[in-house]
């Protein structure tokens, strides 16, 4: 506090200027925008959003979704982005420049990022496993034992005996793949949480491969991530476009869209939807 009750900001200004001299920047503005856009697409866009839209009343779910998107998510995203551009400091020092007591916010962000990295690295390792298995013929998730084939045939017959078209369609679709592929073949899951079981060498390799890719994508800061976003941020949109085109060309596409987007207005008043 300076004389006369005025606040002295000179140490913070000097600190900001020192940070600006060392701050790394993207080589091109497009790299920055691609990095921002990349945050909008992830695993949830592929499986979570369609599932939630179907479960929460179809098109009714779009109402709370759009309200949350435009009134909460986008304003918070803009505030965070503008705050970073205004302060122009590295994350560990950004909140501490406002008030020393806020240094804990940076520690919390680092801790959350650490946990999220473990989560996403695991998903990446599973994705690598699926990617490599997709080159095998026949596809591993279509291979079944005789017992599984007999059980599926019995389920289809039982569904046909009921005469319910939905149950018949569900039984026939569930027989298209091996439900044990992920839990038994890939993970080799134990019977309960008390039996940890041994490490799966193939998944260990995929995990190290995921860490390897992530490390060399970020080891030079924004200089290397700026180059990676050209691939990592455009590929999801390309894949989603391919999946959309493929889905629209499948037989019964209009039935699937009806199940997905048909509004169930009675669910709009449910708190679970909001």
What mean pLDDT is predicted for residues 158-174?
Answer: 73
- Answer yes or no: is 71 within a domain: yes
Give per-residue pLDDT as tens, 30-41: 877 887 777 776
- Answer yes or no: is 95 within a domain: no
- Whether the link from the prior residue into 251 is cis, omega within 30° of 0, is no
Q: Which domain holds residue 245?
A: 24-87+236-274
Close Cβ partners of 124 (under 8 Å, ≥ 6 residues apart): 206, 210, 213, 214
- Answer yes or no: is 61 within a domain: yes
- Answer yes or no: is 113 within a domain: no
- Answer yes or no: is 109 within a domain: no
Comparing CA positions, the residue from 228, 232, 221, 225 lying closest to residue 38 is: 232
pLDDT averaged over every residue in the chain: 77
- Answer yes or no: is 205 within a domain: no
Look up the pTM and report it: 0.68
166: phi then psi, degrees, rounded to nearest 5 = -65, -45
- Answer yes or no: is 68 within a domain: yes
Q: Given the structure tokens 């591993």, which residue do they identify?
A: 140
Give the pLDDT of residue 8. 46
Give the pLDDT of residue 155. 76
Given a cut of 60, whether residue 10 has pLDDT beyond it is no
Give the pLDDT of residue 1. 46
> Are 129 and 183 a contacting pair, CB within 8 Å?
no
Confidence of residue 22 (pLDDT cuts 50, 70, 90): low
Tally of domains within the chain: 1
- Answer yes or no: is 34 within a domain: yes
Rg (CA), the chain: 25
């Amino acid at each position: 506090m300076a004389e006369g009750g005025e606040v002295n900001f000179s140490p913070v200004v000097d600190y900001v200027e020192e940070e600006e001299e060392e701050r790394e920047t993207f080589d091109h503005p497009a790299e920055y925008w691609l990095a921002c856009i990349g945050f909008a697409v992830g695993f949830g866009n592929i499986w979570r959003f369609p599932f939630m839209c179907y479960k929460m009343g179809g098109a009714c779910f779009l109402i709370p979704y759009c309200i949350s998107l435009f009134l909460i998510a986008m304003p918070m995203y803009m505030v965070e982005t503008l705050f970073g551009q205004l302060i122009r400091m590295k994350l560990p020092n950004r909140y501490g420049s406002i008030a020393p007591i806020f240094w804990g916010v940076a520690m919390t962000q680092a801790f959350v990022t650490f946990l999220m990295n473990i989560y996403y690295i695991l998903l990446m390792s599973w994705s690598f496993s699926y990617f490599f298995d997709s080159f095998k013929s026949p596809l591993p998730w279509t291979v079944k034992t005789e017992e599984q084939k007999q059980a599926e045939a019995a389920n289809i017959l039982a569904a046909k005996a009921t005469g319910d078209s939905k149950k018949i369609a569900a039984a026939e679709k569930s027989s298209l793949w091996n439900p044990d592929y992920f839990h038994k073949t890939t993970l080799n899951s134990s019977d309960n949480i008390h039996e940890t079981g041994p490490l799966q060498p193939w998944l260990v390799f995929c995990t190290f491969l995921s860490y390897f890719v992530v490390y060399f994508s970020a080891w030079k800061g924004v200089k290397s991530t700026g180059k990676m976003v050209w691939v990592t941020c455009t590929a999801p949109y390309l894949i989603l476009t391919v999946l959309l085109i493929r889905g629209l060309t499948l037989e019964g596409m209009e039935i699937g869209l009806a199940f997905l987007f048909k509004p169930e207005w009675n669910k709009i008043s449910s708190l679970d939807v909001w």
